[in-house]
Amino acid sequence: MVDVILGLQWGDEGKGKIVDFFAPQYDIIARFQGGPNAGHTLYVDGKKIVLHQIPSGIFHQNTTNIIGNGVVLDPVTLKRECDAVAAFGIDVKKNLYIAERTNLIVPTHRALDRASELAKGDGKIGSTLKGIGPAYMDKTGRNALRVGDLADKSFITNYIKLRLKHQKLLDNFNFNEDISAWEEEFFEAIEFLRTLNIVNGEYFINNKISQGKKVLAEGAQGTMLDIDFGTFPFVTSSSTISAGVCTGLGVAPQKIRDVLGVTKAYCTRVGSGPFPTELDDSTGDELRKIGSEFGATTGRPRRCGWIDLVALKYTCMINGVTQVVMTKADVLDAFAELNVCTSYNINGVEKEEVPFQMTRVRMNPVYKAFDGWNCDTTQIKDAAKLPANMSNYIDFINKYIGAPVKYVSNGPGREQIVKL
Ligand code: GDP
Ligand code: IMO
Ligand code: MG
């Protein structure tokens, strides 16, 4: 049996905290897509840690964590992260596993990401520059190196072949930065990677499922960044949706039970691309300030706006969401009036559907206004104590999106979550 936690917006919904909260109920936490572009923030013993590659169950001693085949893995980030986790007294060699079919990010992927973004100029995607796009291109282009290839004597030869191919592309971009330091740390990290538990991921997971173990699949990014259903081309390069769990871990669709979708009580986006409810004003600034909306991976200020129910209903549909977790509800404590987007006015016509593309049209969000709750909710533990105006806000959202908000997160701490 596999449950899924994934993002319903443009990433940074608070997935890391929510996975960490639910982890004790599961035997295995599995990452199924994405790479070090993810930044999942956790608080462990009051100390903040941001995970990029390692699943967010790593701090629970009895939980097995697996990096699945759908992930693109940068050994350098992984090594750094393993060291950071070890400083908390966690033995990664004991409860971290990596699927052989996981694709590797090599230094020239990072260089290509930079070169490609530079070449795009104003049209850039706003990539995290971690080499994600180029690494997935080599996967679908059938050129990539995979973790299982480390056991092959020709690994270095194949690495050099790939590097030469990348060099030609970099030459086309006129990109000539020296990446020898990156290569040096890459090979050091490769030696470290060899010492970790490398397994046949699909058998590993399916055998555990057959034994009755419970698996939690942890999504990275969010559905609006999905390669197929997101705001293309301003997306990431993987399947961030529940279907991605099947291809990213090797589990059959019938094995998937609950899909927990995580949304903020408002909305953010980092990087370029359409964002219909973006607030380019003092309200947007307030959301950013109160919500500490700065990227966990790049530190970039996040664009902020009201919750977009058109997009949320769409992402619940695509994922088959069974329960919604609403995070950062406390950030709205200070707002006298709240807005929720209920339709888009596109070229003068009101629509309740996410269109094929949002950039070449005149698009305005249509809002319904709500009274705020104007009180501190951060210490509330019991659903009955939540302010009535918050319940109204949530009831409306439930009805609109057709999926129930079952948890409200009211602060970054592990214990700050209310079950409805
Ligand atoms: P992820 O990528 O989806 O795991 O989310 P990030 O970690 O990138 O960003 C979410 C940020 O919000 C982190 O700084 C969290 O500590 C913080 N956070 C998570 N849930 C809550 C919440 O309910 N309230 C507040 N105030 N902060 C939260
Ligand atoms: P988590 O898992 C928010 C965004 C980037 C950029 C676009 C493509 O922390 O929610 P990429 O690096 O994949 O080439 O970037 O996607 N992006 C994210 N935004 N949260 C993330 O991950 C993201 N990962 C990528 O800002 O716009
Ligand atoms: Mg994040």
Q: Which atom of ligand 2 is nearest to 270's Cα?
A: 26
Q: Evaluate whether residue 317 is within a structural domain.
A: yes
Please give the Cα distance from 375 to 330 (Å, whole number): 9
Query: Which listed residue (12, 113, 308, 330) is catalytic?
Result: 12
240: enclosing H helix or E strand: none
The whole-angstrom separation of Cα 235 and Cα 227 is 6
CA distance 297 to 291: 16
Place of tokens 């191919």: 165
Whether residue 9 lies inside any domain: the answer is no
CATH of the domain at 335: 3.90.170.10
Q: Is 11 in the pocket of ligand 2 (CB under 6 A)?
A: yes
Q: Give the pLDDT of residue 359.
A: 85
pLDDT of residue 296: 77
Closest Cα to residue 367, out of 290, 295, 299, 283? Answer: 283
How many structural domains compose the chain? 1
Phi, then psi, of 337 in degrees rounded to 5: -130, 140
Would you say residue 79 lies in a domain? Answer: no
Per-residue pLDDT at 360: 83
Ligand showing the shortest atom-to-Cα distance for residue 261: 1
Atom of ligand 2 nearest to the CA of 222: 10
Q: Is any atom of ligand 1 closer than 6 Å to the C-beta of 411?
A: yes
The label of the residue with tokens 């592990």 reads: 414
pLDDT at 238: 98
pLDDT tens for each residue of the chain, 420 residues long:
999 999 999 999 999 999 999 999 999 999 999 999 999 999 988 899 999 999 999 999 899 999 999 999 999 999 999 999 999 999 899 999 999 999 999 999 999 999 999 999 999 999 999 999 999 999 999 999 999 999 999 999 999 999 999 999 999 999 988 999 999 999 999 999 999 999 999 999 999 999 999 999 999 999 999 999 999 999 999 999 999 999 999 999 999 999 999 999 999 999 999 999 999 999 999 999 999 999 877 788 999 999 999 999 999 999 999 999 999 999 999 999 999 999 999 999 999 999 998 888 889 999 999 999 999 999 999 999 999 999 999 999 999 999 999 999 999 999 999 999
Q: What is the predicted pLDDT for the residue at 365?
A: 97
pLDDT for res 317: 98
pLDDT at 12: 96
CA angle 390, 308, 283 (to 5 degrees): 70
pLDDT score of 393:
98
How high is the pLDDT of residue 31? 98
According to DSSP, the β-strands at 405-409 and 323-327 are parallel
Please report whether residue 217 resides in a domain. Answer: no
CA distance 57 to 28: 8
The answer to whether 53 and 297 have CB atoms below 8 angstroms apart is no
pLDDT at 77: 97
Buried b (16+ CB within 10 A) or exposed e, 144-179: bbbbbbbeeeeeeeebeebeeebeebbeeeebeeeb
β-bridge pairing 64-67 and 47-51? unpaired
* Residue 164 within any structural domain of the chain: no
- On whether residue 414 sits in a domain, the answer given is yes
The answer to whether residue 412 is domain-embedded is yes
Q: Confirm whether 112 is domain-assigned.
A: no
- Catalytic annotation present for 91: no
- Does 152 qualify as catalytic in the annotation? no
Q: Which structural domain range is residue 335 located in?
A: 263-419
Regarding beta strands 40-44 and 47-51, do their DSSP bridges make them parallel or antiparallel, or are they unpaired?
A: antiparallel
Q: How far is CA 297 from the centre of its chain?
A: 11
For residue 417, give the ligand 1 atom closest to its CA: 23
By the CB criterion, residues less than 5 angstroms from ion ligand 3 are 12, 39, 296
